[in-house]
Amino acid sequence: MAETFDVIVVGAGGSGLAAAYSAAEQGGRVLVLEKRPQPGGTTGIAVGSFTAAATSVQRQAGIDDSPESHIEDVSKFPPTDIEARNADAMRAFFLHEAATTFEWLRGLGLSFVGPSPEPPNRNPRMHNVVPGAKAYIAALQLALQQKGAKLLANAAVECLLREGDRVVGVQALVDGVTREYHATRGVILAAGDYANNREMIAEHKGEQYRAIEGINPFATGDGHRLAKDAGAQLVNMDVTYGPELRFVPSSKRPFQQWLPASGLAARFMGAVATRLPSWMMRSMIKRLLVTWQHPENALFDDGAILLNRDGQRFVDETKYPDREIALASQPDKIAYILLDRRLIERYSAWPHFISTAPDIAYAYVADYLRLRPDVARRGTSLDQVADRAGLDPVAVRSSVHTYSASLSEHDAKKLPLEGGPWVLLGPVKAYFTTTEGGAVVNDQMQVVGEDGTIVPGLYAVGQNGLSGMILWSHGLHIAWAMTSGRLAGIACMATQDR
Ligand SMILES: Cc1cc2nc3c(=O)[nH]c(=O)nc-3n(C[C@H](O)[C@H](O)[C@H](O)COP(=O)(O)OP(=O)(O)OC[C@H]3O[C@@H](n4cnc5c(N)ncnc54)[C@H](O)[C@@H]3O)c2cc1C
């Protein structure tokens, strides 16, 4: 006999846990199925920014803001060709709901620092959860447990069960055993993005992007596949956030992951964090920056070069996305960024930083040498720095010589690499951060089919239900994951029990 629930949620990342908790708040019997051994998804490795207007935190900071002005400002973030494809009405609806979601999350005991400015937003709107995005997962999971909902890990949903047009449940592989679960009110797809699904990327974005990986290796687009199989309309599947260069993460857990994300200790941390002097907060957040942020393009415009694992230069570093595409076909798909004395000096102080989360913190060469010794090493000679990075010094010397000799005396834009000390940063890889394609949904998060009618019993949230929105600017993906989850839980429980 298949177990029966009111609501089944596919995926225990940010949007899935929000949807599950929201449905449980309405009195629903809820099952969450998560394919990984633990909840979290991409949400669990994110920085944690949540951008919204007219929040209580803004009011406490004396900022008078409104969703209407946010709606105007947000359209200035994407390039015009991307903005032309944005789903304006849905985005406006979302931005009107975001502050309510923010207060709902604060009600779970989550603490935020900020708000931080991010132009062209006219007001500071970026709220950063403390100590990091893992706190969303911990708080929602705890709240869900207290409502008596069931969460199964190692439970990959393979297909949807249908009765006629209606989605009535799922089939999942749970600890290696195939099981069926029935939902009387609805199935909510919350399975994240497809940044690491090579087939989907090649099909929608182009064959040349096939080799580029997603930051989250488990972001395989299962929800998109399930939605498509059910007849959903998928839009903007070619739009991606990235590819961009990022430092390969350390094999050690980042500092923030060690901090308590739930329980009394986390509340204490939150209370302390909001009272910490801003320089101390910045230094904490800087650790996150050097974990995931990408090296600024300005580094390459200023003359830094990329060397592959064999010490060879392989591309014009200033050309995007050729650089990322070329990097993905190098040995082990990795490269190193070489800085000479001039670049080390330049990238040691504002306004020349290696990476940033705008207006939160900036990381310079010294920060990388101190906080990420696994991706930053210094040497007085080229041979020494190459050796420290495990590269062939002869090949590195030859690459630098050939590059510097190739620069025209009249090309003032680029300067030759001159002399030590040297710094080699890396390995870096080209990654997709996330993808912007998703199912079309209505304001109840019900999935809309190719024929324009809803697919009964099926909902999509977070990256599965982006509905044509392209969420440029920091903090909108998490705001959407949580908002769409909250709304789907309410809507699903408001439908008639079958
Ligand atoms: C490094 C990094 C930093 C970021 N920082 C920010 C930030 O600060 N602010 C912001 O707004 N956005 C940020 N983003 C983007 C944002 O984190 C994500 O877009 C958002 O959290 C996605 O939430 P989600 O619930 O849709 O997906 P996820 O959180 O990825 O959850 C999907 C879950 O579904 C599970 N799953 C998948 N397939 C199945 C299946 N078949 N069966 C069962 N379970 C399945 C997955 O394992 C996962 O747990 C960042 C992204 C990255 C990569």
Question: What one-character-per-residue DSSP string does 226-291 give?
Answer: HHHHTTB-EE-TT-EE--EEEEPPPSSPPHHHHS--SHHHHHHHHHHHHHS-HHHHHHHHHHHHHH
Q: Decide whether any atom of ligand 1 lies within 6 Å of the 375 Cβ.
A: no
The alpha carbon of 278 and the centre of ligand 1 are apart by a number of angstroms equal to 28
4 and 28 in contact (C-beta within 8 Å)?
Answer: no
441 and 404 in one domain? no
- Minimal-distance CA residue to ligand 1 atom 19: 477
Q: pLDDT digit string (tens) for 42-61?
A: 999 898 999 999 999 999 99
Q: How many CB atoms lie within 10 A of CB 251?
A: 6
Q: pLDDT digit string (tens) for 99-115?
A: 999 999 999 999 898 89
The alpha carbon of 480 and the centre of ligand 1 are apart by a number of angstroms equal to 11
Q: Decide whether any atom of ligand 1 lies within 6 Å of the 13 Cβ.
A: yes
Q: Which residue has the higher pLDDT, 268 or 144?
A: 144
pLDDT at 260: 46
Q: Decide whether any atom of ligand 1 lies within 6 Å of the 221 Cβ.
A: no
Least confident of 128-137, 233-242, 300-309: 128-137
The alpha carbon of 393 and the centre of ligand 1 are apart by a number of angstroms equal to 40
Would you say residue 256 lies in a domain? no
Packing angle of the helix pair 263-275, 134-146 (nearest 10 deg): 140
Q: Decide whether any atom of ligand 1 lies within 6 Å of the 215 Cβ.
A: yes
Closest ligand 1 atom to 133 CA: 8
Banded pLDDT at 496 (limits 50, 70, 90): confident
> Distance between CA atoms of 183 and 44, rounded to whole angstroms?
27
Would you say residue 102 lies in a domain? yes
Average pLDDT over residues 251-263: 51
Q: Decide whether any atom of ligand 1 lies within 6 Å of the 45 Cβ.
A: yes
- Minimal-distance CA residue to ligand 1 atom 1: 46
189 and 303 in one domain? no
Paired sense of beta strands 3-10 and 177-189, if any: parallel
CA neighbor of 473 nearest in space, from 129, 185, 82, 23:
82
Would you say residue 458 lies in a domain? yes
84 and 136 in contact (C-beta within 8 Å)?
Answer: no
> Distance between CA atoms of 356 and 200, rounded to whole angstroms?
30
Would you say residue 262 lies in a domain? no
Residue that is last in its domain, among 432, 452, 473: 432
pLDDT at residue 285 is higher than 60: no
pLDDT at residue 288 is higher than 60: no
190 and 19 in contact (C-beta within 8 Å)?
Answer: yes
pLDDT at 258: 46
Closest ligand 1 atom to 471 CA: 11
pTM: 0.91
The alpha carbon of 481 and the centre of ligand 1 are apart by a number of angstroms equal to 8
The alpha carbon of 456 and the centre of ligand 1 are apart by a number of angstroms equal to 25
On average, the pLDDT of the chain sits at 91
421 and 290 in one domain? yes
pLDDT at 328: 97
Q: pLDDT digit string (tens) for 79-95?
A: 999 999 999 999 999 99
Q: Decide whether any atom of ligand 1 lies within 6 Å of the 99 Cβ.
A: no
The alpha carbon of 296 and the centre of ligand 1 are apart by a number of angstroms equal to 24
384 and 463 in one domain? no
> Distance between CA atoms of 111 and 120, rounded to whole angstroms?
25
The dihedral built from the CA positions of residue 278, 132, 221 and 253, taken in this order, carries a sign that is positive
Q: Decide whether any atom of ligand 1 lies within 6 Å of the 434 Cβ.
A: yes
pLDDT at 436: 97
Strand, coil or helix: 152: strand
427 and 403 in one domain? yes
CA neighbor of 262 nearest in space, from 164, 171, 130, 168:
130
pLDDT at residue 400 is higher than 80: yes
pLDDT at 286: 54
Beta bridge partners, 447, equal: 441
> Distance between CA atoms of 60 and 252, rounded to whole angstroms?
37
pLDDT at 294: 84
CA neighbor of 495 nearest in space, from 202, 127, 186:
186
| Counted domains in the chain | 2
pLDDT at residue 278 is higher than 80: no
pLDDT at 411: 65
Any idea what the CATH number is for the domain that residue 11 is in?
3.50.50.60
Average pLDDT over residues 398-405: 93
Closest ligand 1 atom to 478 CA: 11
Q: Decide whether any atom of ligand 1 lies within 6 Å of the 291 Cβ.
A: no
- Minimal-distance CA residue to ligand 1 atom 2: 46
Q: Decide whether any atom of ligand 1 lies within 6 Å of the 463 Cβ.
A: yes
The alpha carbon of 406 and the centre of ligand 1 are apart by a number of angstroms equal to 44
Would you say residue 347 lies in a domain? yes
Buried b / exposed e over 218-240, threshold 16 CB at 10 Å, is: bbbbbbbbbbbebbbbbbbbebb
Q: Which residue has the tokens 């930083």?
A: 353
> Distance between CA atoms of 60 and 395, rounded to whole angstroms?
58
Least confident of 121-125, 210-214, 262-266, 470-474: 262-266
441 and 428 in one domain? no
410 and 444 in one domain? no
The alpha carbon of 49 and the centre of ligand 1 are apart by a number of angstroms equal to 13
449 and 426 in one domain? no
| Helix or strand (DSSP H, E) at 384 | helix 382-389
Percent of the chain whose predicted confidence (pLDDT) is above 90 = 77
410 and 328 in one domain? yes
154 and 175 in contact (C-beta within 8 Å)?
Answer: yes
Q: Decide whether any atom of ligand 1 lies within 6 Å of the 33 Cβ.
A: yes
Closest ligand 1 atom to 433 CA: 53
Domain extent for 313: 271-432
Q: Decide whether any atom of ligand 1 lies within 6 Å of the 157 Cβ.
A: yes
Average pLDDT over residues 452-457: 96
21 and 7 in one domain? yes
375 and 237 in one domain? no
CA neighbor of 474 nearest in space, from 319, 351, 364, 361:
361
Q: pLDDT digit string (tens) for 312-357?
A: 999 999 999 999 999 999 999 999 999 999 999 999 998 898 987 6
Q: Distance between alpha carbon 376 and the CA centroid of its chain, in Å?
A: 24
Would you say residue 263 lies in a domain? no
Q: Decide whether any atom of ligand 1 lies within 6 Å of the 483 Cβ.
A: no
Residue that is last in its domain, among 394, 410, 432: 432
Residue that is last in its domain, among 388, 410, 432: 432
pLDDT at residue 180 is higher than 60: yes
Percent of the chain whose predicted confidence (pLDDT) is above 70 = 89
117 and 7 in one domain? yes
pLDDT at residue 367 is higher than 70: yes
Would you say residue 249 lies in a domain? no
pLDDT at 473: 87
> Distance between CA atoms of 100 and 90, rounded to whole angstroms?
16
The alpha carbon of 46 and the centre of ligand 1 are apart by a number of angstroms equal to 8
Average pLDDT over residues 273-302: 68
DSSP 428-478: EEEEE-EE--EE-B-TT-EEEBTTSSEEEEEEE-GGGG-TT----STTHHH
Would you say residue 482 lies in a domain? yes
Q: Decide whether any atom of ligand 1 lies within 6 Å of the 132 Cβ.
A: no
The alpha carbon of 337 and the centre of ligand 1 are apart by a number of angstroms equal to 29
pLDDT at residue 239 is higher than 70: yes
With the most atoms of ligand 1 within 8 angstroms of its CB, the residue from 359, 477, 484 to mutate is 477
Q: Decide whether any atom of ligand 1 lies within 6 Å of the 330 Cβ.
A: no
297 and 320 in contact (C-beta within 8 Å)?
Answer: yes
Q: Decide whether any atom of ligand 1 lies within 6 Å of the 42 Cβ.
A: yes
- Minimal-distance CA residue to ligand 1 atom 27: 192
Whether a cis peptide bond, with omega within 30° of 0, leads into 131 is yes
pLDDT at 287: 55
At a CB cut-off of 8 Å and minimum separation 6, what does 176 contact?
none
Closest ligand 1 atom to 214 CA: 53
Any idea what the CATH number is for the domain that residue 290 is in?
3.90.700.10
209 and 243 in contact (C-beta within 8 Å)?
Answer: yes
